[in-house]
């Protein structure tokens, strides 16, 4: 089974955006607020939104299962207040649940949290519990910067975040550290803000000893880990200067990287630098980069091709990247698949 651990519902039916527009209009004028969280999306509309996109690409590329979450750039935790964010997360997560019900062989859910800048993240625990316990989700996307590019929250190693970590450990769910839209014009969302955040999160984890307090906590740093693998020598050296243990011991029991790197040399570097046990296959399709690479004639985000091309990878290690590591990191995944008769 080839498991893509990073996909978003970027093709959701237009009623979802209409609902969000109403929510935003309702912030200024209460009479505009949506009166119901029933979006009026039919099962056929969901099928249509996926058949020509994620499902088609799964079939064409030969991948089996996508760990699927709401559109990351639309989480926009900086918009509105706690009530806005709670309602928006619920609506988005419910839609992912419906996708997983309609296509149990193709999708497993990961949730969006109702984060709000300046609000302690324990406000997210009820939605996280609902998604894991009632909807069968296996992970969450945790936004280290709900302000959308202004970095107002304490670092991920601060006690501010501990309540959500305690719940993650209890539920045995990993978090993908994933920012959302950027409201800072200095940072392009997917080109700069995402990659900055990946790198920033890694460095935050390096400077502290979070995993002494949470030895079983698991994070996935997406987009190939931002700049971390490319600058691995810098990070190893910084850790050494700070009298931290070697990175393998300090971070790599808890921190994993996905393969959303959109060219072969990048994937080759990732797999040379980062231990194979810490790499999870992912493409983030349909997502950040939608076009074809004129140099290869293939989609930039068809990351399976790059991994297939890695001749130095043993069959055993290839299976770890494509399947085994995802089953380890997403502690509830095996049970969910078994329930669906897919083990």
Q: Point out which residues bind Zn ion (CB under 5 A).
A: 72, 284
* Shortest spacing between CB 69 and Zn ion, in angstroms: 8
Q: Which residue's CB is nearer to Zn ion, number 88 or number 194?
A: 194
Catalytic member of 268, 284, 295, 339: 284
Nearer residue to Zn ion within complex by CB, 90 or 284: 284
284 tagged catalytic? yes
Please identify, using beta-carbon distances, which residue of 268 and 284 lies nearer to Zn ion.
Answer: 284
Q: Which is nearer to Zn ion, 181 or 239 (CB)?
A: 181
What minimum distance in Å lies between the beta carbon of 73 and Zn ion? Answer: 8
Least distance between Zn ion and beta carbon 68 (Å): 11
What gap in Å lies between CA 15 and CA 327, rounded to an integer?
34
Give the nearer residue to Zn ion in terms of CB position, either 124 or 260: 260
- Rounded to a whole number of angstroms, the minimum distance from the CB of residue 31 to Zn ion is 35
Closest approach, Cβ 71 to Zn ion, in A, equals 9
**Residues classed as catalytic:** 284
């Amino acid at each position: 089974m080839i498991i893509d651990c990073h996909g978003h519902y970027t093709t959701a039916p237009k009623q979802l955006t209409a609902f969000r527009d109403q929510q935003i209009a309702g912030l200024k004028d209460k009479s505009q607020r949506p009166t119901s969280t029933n979006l009026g999306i039919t099962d056929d509309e969901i099928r249509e939104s996926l058949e020509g996109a994620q499902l088609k690409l799964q079939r064409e590329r030969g991948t089996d299962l996508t760990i699927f979450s709401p559109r990351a750039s639309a989480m926009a935790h900086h918009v509105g207040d706690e009530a806005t964010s709670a309602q928006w997360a619920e609506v988005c997560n419910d839609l992912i649940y419906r996708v997983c019900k309609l296509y149990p062989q193709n999708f497993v859910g990961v949730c969006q949290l109702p984060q709000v800048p300046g609000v302690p993240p324990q406000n997210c625990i009820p939605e996280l519990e609902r998604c894991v316990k009632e909807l069968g989700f296996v992970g969450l996307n945790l936004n280290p910067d709900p302000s959308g590019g202004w970095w107002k929250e304490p670092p991920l190693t601060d006690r501010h975040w501990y309540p959500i970590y305690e719940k993650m450990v209890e539920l045995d769910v990993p978090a993908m550290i994933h920012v959302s839209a950027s409201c800072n014009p200095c940072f392009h969302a997917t080109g700069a803000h995402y990659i900055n955040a990946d790198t920033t999160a890694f460095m935050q984890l390096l400077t502290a000893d979070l995993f002494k307090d949470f030895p079983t906590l698991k994070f996935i740093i997406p987009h190939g880990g931002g700049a971390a693998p490319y600058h691995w020598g810098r990070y190893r050296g910084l850790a050494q200067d700070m009298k931290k243990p070697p990175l393998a011991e300090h971070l790599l029991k808890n921190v994993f990287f996905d393969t959303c790197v959109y060219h072969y040399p990048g994937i080759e570097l990732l797999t040379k630098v980062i231990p194979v046990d810490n790499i999870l296959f992912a493409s983030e399709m349909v997502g950040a980069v939608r076009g074809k690479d004129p140099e290869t004639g293939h989609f930039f985000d068809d990351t399976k091709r790059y991994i297939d091309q890695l001749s130095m990878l043993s069959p055993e290690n290839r299976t770890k990247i494509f399947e085994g590591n995802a089953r380890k990191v997403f502690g509830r995944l095996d049970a969910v698949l078994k329930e669906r008769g897919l083990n």
